[in-house]
């Protein structure tokens, strides 16, 4: 693991502004999720809002393969799709769950966040999956403070998820964020307390539990982006960008959230 960047107060302020836009996009898109809406319509709403706020969609054109860069503003991942679903003309259906992941760059700094929403009425299992995933994120954030080890945060997610009978995805991780969308450190959602680098004031982290109802195994789809559960069971994804402060964690992507988010 390389050096973990420490941000100045001025840098955190710029990240906070990008994160404000992220949070507002998630609220906007969430308010438009309903049976029958096309994923690409949600994507267009998000891009229009980001650009109106003088931001740039961070995911659009992202990638390491020049012939397959990500084509959209949002990742829209439905049911067994864990992350990186490409929004297209498919319509959301009653009973599905849909993860919305969005990144924003403004004034040279990035913000990143995700929430999973119910499409109409959903099953009891899916309701519990969303609740446990969201709780695991909140518990991880509550654990953050200078001087703890990174895997203390990871283990907090794992313990809560597995106690509920679900599994954490192991092939995908959270990350540091700042001048780059993905910086050090990599932040797995499983780990051993007391291991990993020590957290320090000024670190900015994207914490993102990805939780499967069934087994943790995932596979990459034919589009080169969409990651799905191998067993076809549903998955949920919640993410906040947080700054490590002397008092604990400041959530930079929280905006008007309620317990039902």
**Residue 151, in any domain of the structure:** yes
Q: Are 20 and 255 in contact (CB under 8 A)?
A: yes
How confident is the model over 190-218, as pLDDT tens digits?
A: 999 999 999 999 999 999 999 999 999 99
**Residue 100, in any domain of the structure:** yes
**Residue 230, in any domain of the structure:** yes
Instruction: Determine the pLDDT at residue 258.
Output: 40
**Residue 23, in any domain of the structure:** yes
Instruction: Determine the pLDDT at residue 256.
Output: 59
| Residue position matching structure tokens 């446990």 | 132
Q: Are 218 and 93 in contact (CB under 8 A)?
A: no
Q: What is the CATH number of the domain that holds 188?
A: 3.90.230.10
How confident is the model over 7-18, as pLDDT tens digits?
A: 999 999 999 999
Is pLDDT above 70 for 260?
no
**Residue 170, in any domain of the structure:** yes
**Residue 69, in any domain of the structure:** yes
Domain that holds residue 68: 9-251
When divided into structural domains, the chain yields a total of: 1
Going by pLDDT thresholds of 50, 70 and 90, the confidence category of residue 255 is: confident
The candidate with the shortest Cα–Cα distance to 159, out of 181, 128, 186, 132, is 132
**Residue 26, in any domain of the structure:** yes
Pairing type for strands 109-118 and 204-207 reads: unpaired
Q: pTM for the full model?
A: 0.96
């Amino acid at each position: 693991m390389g050096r973990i960047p420490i941000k100045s107060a001025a840098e955190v302020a710029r990240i906070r502004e990008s994160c404000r836009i992220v949070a507002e996009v998630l609220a906007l898109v969430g308010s438009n999720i309903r049976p029958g809406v096309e994923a690409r319509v949600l994507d267009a709403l998000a891009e229009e809002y980001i650009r109106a706020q003088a931001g740039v969609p961070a995911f659009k054109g992202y990638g390491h393969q020049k012939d397959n860069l990500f084509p959209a503003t949002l990742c829209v991942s439905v049911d067994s799709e864990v992350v990186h679903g490409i929004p297209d003309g498919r319509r959301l259906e009653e009973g599905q769950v849909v993860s919305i992941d969005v990144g924003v760059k403004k004034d040279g700094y990035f913000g990143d966040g995700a929430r999973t929403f119910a499409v109409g009425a959903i099953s009891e299992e899916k309701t519990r999956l969303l609740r446990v995933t969201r709780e695991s994120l909140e518990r991880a954030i509550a654990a953050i403070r200078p001087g703890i080890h990174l895997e203390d945060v990871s283990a907090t997610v794992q313990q809560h998820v597995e106690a509920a009978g679900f599994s954490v995805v192991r092939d995908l991780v959270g990350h540091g964020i700042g001048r780059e969308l993905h910086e050090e450190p990599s932040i797995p959602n499983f780990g051993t307390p007391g291991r990993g680098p020590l957290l320090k004031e000024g670190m900015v982290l994207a914490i993102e539990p990805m939780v499967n109802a069934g087994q943790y195994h995932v596979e990459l789809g034919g589009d080169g982006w969409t990651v799905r559960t191998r067993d076809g069971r549903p998955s949920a994804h919640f993410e906040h960008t947080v700054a490590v402060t002397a008092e604990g964690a400041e959530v930079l992507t929280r905006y008007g959230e309620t317990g039902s988010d």
